[in-house]
Amino acid sequence: MSEVKKKRKRRRYRIVWPWQQPKNQSSETTPKKKRRLKLRKEIIYGIIGVIALLLLIFLPRAFENNKLRSLGYTKDEIQAIREQQLARTLIKNEYYSPFLAKSITDGTLNQDYLELYTVISEDGSLDHTDFLLYNRLLDKGYENDQILDLFKNLYFHELTPLLVFDYQYNELAYIEDCQKNREKNSKTHFELSGTYFKPYGNPLPVDDPNNVNMLVNKTYYLSQNYKPSNLTDLSTYYSAAENQLSSNAAQALTEWGDAGGNVGVTFYATSAYRNYKDQETVYQNYVNAWGQEEADSLSARAGFSEHQTGLTVDIAATNEDDIEEFQDTKAYRWTSTNSHSYGWILRYPEGKEQITGYQFEAWHYRYLGKELATAVYNSQLTYDEFYGLYLKPWDDETHIPSEAVLEGSDYKKFIKTKAEENIENKEGKDN
């Protein structure tokens, strides 16, 4: 075989490897490259945004939870704080106390008084009447930090006299005096070592001399020309001759006397309405006999006497002549505990002399109407305190608390609209 043929034959069996393919070889014999997956920019940015949002939500929340735990709140309390949206406020002001935490979890919290909750002891309590008192003290002129000091250290019956006393620039001295005398004081007895009220020192006209709930004391006075428009003579069956009262009070005195007679208790009015000049004479007689300081504890100055209202009586027992003091009589024991059922209150009770400004007068009763008299009796407050808490017009209307507090504290129950008062007055005249 020729050399040429041998070469041609060998070429038939030559192996050509892929990498030996000529550059211009058909693509059909070239392996396909994998296509890269390219994500759209919008999707990438969206993912980043979601991650950032989650961080913005959960990182601050985790930070707040840590802050709340450091203040003293538990996991369950923090959950309740979250539900009530209180986290930021509590953290910002660093508010915490066991009582506050308890009030948050049991749902009794009033968010308008958060800081007040921080000064109340763990076994203490706060209700709508406490909130009303807080606002009344604001209206009296006390600063927030003073009120917090007072609530932190004193009981309710130690706070309400401040509504009657002069404004105390140094509340700490008052607190110390209350604590020093705490063993002998209670809801029915209150006395202090210091003096916190100057009688007649800041005289003010009576708020509404046409209202049966008017307050007349050593601060609030009636003009010398004031005279009740509906005076009526009292029956000599229950009164000394020539005594008069406002018609509603006169009717209530008869009802009261009849009820006493039904249980074997008899009494009568020794004194009732006195005009300005008559009171001036009475007071001067006391001054002549005892001196002005003693007279001021026994009798009112003209214009400052409840007798001028036509709503007040001094009473005495009948058929108990062997007993010298009225407070020792059967009549006193019955009248002092039942008078409110007929619209009357014992105006100057024993143990409250420092608040009323008068010595105990077992015989001195003031007509208020059955509903109000019963409320005062049940409160165990003097009428001076009760009026300051529930009835006094506000000096600054921005201090008036929320409707929930006014309703819950019974404030609304005692404040009547002019329309309601007109209806009551008309009914009284018709009767």
Nearest to 238 by CA among 277, 200, 265, 205: 265
DSSP tag of 190:
-
Please list the alpha-helical segments (H only) found in 106-201: 114-117, 128-140, 144-153, 156-159, 171-180
**Residue 321: which residues within 8 A CB-CB, separation 6 or more?**
none
CA distances from 363 to 80, 88, 268, 409 (A): 55, 58, 10, 31
376 residue type, one letter: V
Report yes or no: 326 and 317 within 8 Å, Cβ to Cβ: yes
How far apart, in whole angstroms, are the C-alpha atoms of residue 132 and residue 410?
10
What's the DSSP call for residue 169? S
Question: What would the 3-class secondary structure string for 319-338 be?
Answer: CCCCCCCHHHCHHHHHHHHH
Contact yes or no for 348/384 (Cβ under 8 A):
no
DSSP string, 59-79: HHHHHHHHHHHHHT--HHHHH
Retrieve residue 337's tokens.
């505990």
Any long-range contacts for 189-193 (C-beta under 8 Å, 24+ apart)? 189/351, 189/352, 190/157, 190/158, 190/161, 190/351, 190/352, 190/354, 190/355, 191/351, 191/353, 191/354, 192/354
Type and span of the H or E element at 344: strand 344-348
> CA geometry: angle at 13 spanning 7 and 14, to 5°?
85
Q: Which helix (H) or strand (E) holds 101?
A: helix 98-105
Phi, psi of 362 (to 5 degrees): -65, -20
Residues marked active site are found at 361
Q: Mapping DSSP to helix (H, G, I), strand (E, B) and coil, where does residue 267 land?
A: strand
- Residue located via tokens 């709503």: 311
191, two tokens: 């006395």
The neighbouring-strand residues paired with 267 are 317
Answer for the pair 151, 116: CB distance below 8 angstroms, yes or no: yes
CB 65 within 8 A of CB 74: no
